[in-house]
Structure 1
Amino acid sequence: MRLSSLFTFVAGLAVAGGSAYMAREFLESKYAHAAPSQEEVLVDVIVAGRDIALGQTIESHLLTTVAWPVKAAPSGSVTDFNELIPQAGQPPRRARRAISQGEPILISKISDFGEKVTIVQSLSHNHRAMAIKVNAVTAVGGFVTPGDHVDVLLTQGRDESLRTVTILQNTRVIGVDQDADENSDAPEVARTVTVEVLPEDGQKLALAQKAGTLSLALRTVDASNDEPLEAVKLSDVMRELSPVPDQAPSTTIKVRRGVEVTFTEIN
């Protein structure tokens, strides 16, 4: 009887030990698979703590950090403040473009230490900056601001030869008078509007300003397909059309008098 009890006890220990071993193997395997992957590893990316204007000095109080997955971090982002803040006696870096609050600081959007920053840094590749003389009427009442897109219309001629033609479409505004801040949204009656154009379009603008009056048409923010537009002449606007179409439909009235029915047509 004692031998049987001892055997049962030993068998129980063996089963318990095996169960514990299997449980440990299961948990180790589970946690090994649950270990954070490369995509879940975070890095502190430096972002703008507030809006930074074009040409503004990059200073520490304008910056903060946001934890970002390593694999999802924007290309060219900065993680070391020493890459942005100058050492003692070193000239600062400046914003080449307006940077919004919360936007990652990218190397492509800031100058080198001591580099001069002007509106040139905001131009797209192989584009030029060209100024257009405007007033409250030709500049959409002052509602054109940097960053907007406009069409440029030329009106020229006199009397019966007066006509208007669209010479440029979907042109980006990069400056209004001396303001190049794309975060600016206050209406302003300007004297000049600077637009971004290709070299050949700059030639068109220079010639058009001598030929007549340029007006801006403010576009919507959504993209659209542009098509060539024909010039509109004064005669196209001043057409005298009859208020009644030539083939106006007639109205017929049916009148019944006893057994007699008559029809009367009214034009």
Structure 2
Amino acid sequence: MNSRVTLGLAGLFLVGAIFAGYWGLTLSRQPTAAPLAPAESATSAAPQQTIAVEDPTRHPVVVLLRDVAPFEHITAADVALEKLAIVPAGSLTRLDQAVGRTTWRALTAGSWLNEESFEAGSKLARMIRPDERALAVAVDEVINAGGQLTPGDYVDVLLFLRMDANNPQPSAQLVIPALRVLGVGDQLGLTNDGQPASPARSAEDPIKQEQSRTSARTVLLAVPEALLSRLMLATQAGVLRLAVRSADEKRLSRYWAGEAAAPANLASANRELIQFNQLAMTSPPKPVATGIAAPRKSSVEVIRGNEITQQTP
């Protein structure tokens, strides 16, 4: 009886072992889903690729890639297009507008190019308009408004005439009002394209710049062409003073806006200035003699302010 039970249990275990082995073999032969993961990731990554779209708010500007010396031809390797949100006024927007052209002055790398980059003339010549002239006036610390003048200020030119043999009465008067200061010593303002005419200074230079401005011996003035000879005559006739005008007049902003002040300055100067013969300290022109002889009478010269008259007693 025990032997039969033992044989039955052995057979049962054998059947269970065979079933377990078959089940394990079946599971090992089933395909795995793991290799599908890279394909799925590649498929999902494909739609994420984006195409670069140009920003419509940025516009091309021609910029120099290297320093260019005067009278040097611009080549295609010297320039590139940069996309800027704010385009400088008058700047070139295509490479063919610059390639092959010759510069008249030195240009630094990183500068944007415009038509003025290829025009002749110094920085001082590009600080004035066609109807203006740049004239240097000798100054000292007193004439130079205590050494406080800076480029961009507006000044009135005053003249003091001392009393001497040719000028019986001293006088002080306004020669030309509202002249723009272009430079003080070696310090210049802005050119007509808005670029600084003087080279950029380091952070250690403000003290030297202040000393140079205080000790300047020349001041550059933008003089209307019609008033140029008048200012030259005044510089030789007496002592000049430069009186600074208030910045609240907004003359500089109106100048950059294109307003012309020469006609107004000329009219004001004509009203307030004494006659040229008096400014030159010469006698008034004598009347032309006629064919009829007139009896000579002694006369007395009478001076009333800026007027000189001849009166017969």
TM-score (norm 2): 0.42
Larger proportion of strand: 1
TM-score of the aligned structures, taking structure 1 as reference length = 0.49
- Structure with greater helix percent: 2
Higher alpha-carbon Rg: 2
